[in-house]
Amino acid sequence: MSTIRILIADNHKIIRDGLKSLINKEAGMKVIAEAENGRETVRLVQKLRPNVVIMDVSMPDMNGIDATRKLTEEALDIRVIALSMHTDRRFILGILEAGASGYILKDRAFEEVAKAIRNVGRGRAYISPRITEVVANGYLDKTPTAFYALTPREREVLQLLAEGVSAREIAPRLNVSVKTIATHRRNMMVKLNMRSIAELTKYAIREGIVSLEG
Question: Over the stretch 104-154, which tens digit does the pLDDT of each residue have?
Answer: 998 888 999 999 999 999 889 898 887 877 666 655 455 555 556 788 889
Which residue, 214, 206, 181, 212, is CA-closest to 90? 206
Average pLDDT value for the chain = 87
Q: What integer is the mean pLDDT of 72-95?
A: 86
155-175 b/e (C-beta count within 10 Å ≥ 16 → b):
bbbbbbbbeebebeebbeeee
What is the reported pLDDT for 214?
Answer: 46
Distance of CA 59 to the CA centre of its chain: 7
Measure the CA–CA gap between 92 and 102, rounded to whole angstroms: 10
Which pLDDT value is given to residue 76?
Answer: 77
d(CA 154, CA 170): 12
Q: Any idea where the domains of the chain sit in the sequence?
A: 4-140, 146-206
Q: Output 209 or 139, whichever has higher pLDDT.
A: 209
Q: Does 74 score more than 90 pLDDT?
A: no
Sequence-ordered strand ranges (E) for the chain: 4-9, 29-35, 52-56, 79-84, 102-105, 126-127
Q: At the fourth CATH level, which superfamily is domain 4-140? A: Response regulator (3.40.50.2300)
Share of the chain above pLDDT 90, in %: 53
Instruction: Flag whether pLDDT at 35 surpasses 90.
Output: yes
Using 50, 70 and 90 to split pLDDT, how confident is the model at 209? confident
Going 68 to 31 to 108 to 12, the CA torsion angle's sign is: negative
Looking at residues 52-75, what average pLDDT do you find? 91
Task: Give the range among 29-33, 105-109, 139-143, 189-193 with minimum mean pLDDT.
Answer: 139-143
pTM: 0.77
Say what the pLDDT of residue 136 is.
Answer: 63
pLDDT tens, position by position, 7-18: 999 999 999 999
In which band, very low, low, confident or very high, does the pLDDT at 169 lie, cut at 50, 70 and 90?
very high
Which residues neighbour 163 within 8 Å (Cβ) at sequence distance 6 or greater?
60, 61, 210
Q: What is the CATH number of domain 146-206?
A: 1.10.10.10
The number of residues making up the chain comes to 214
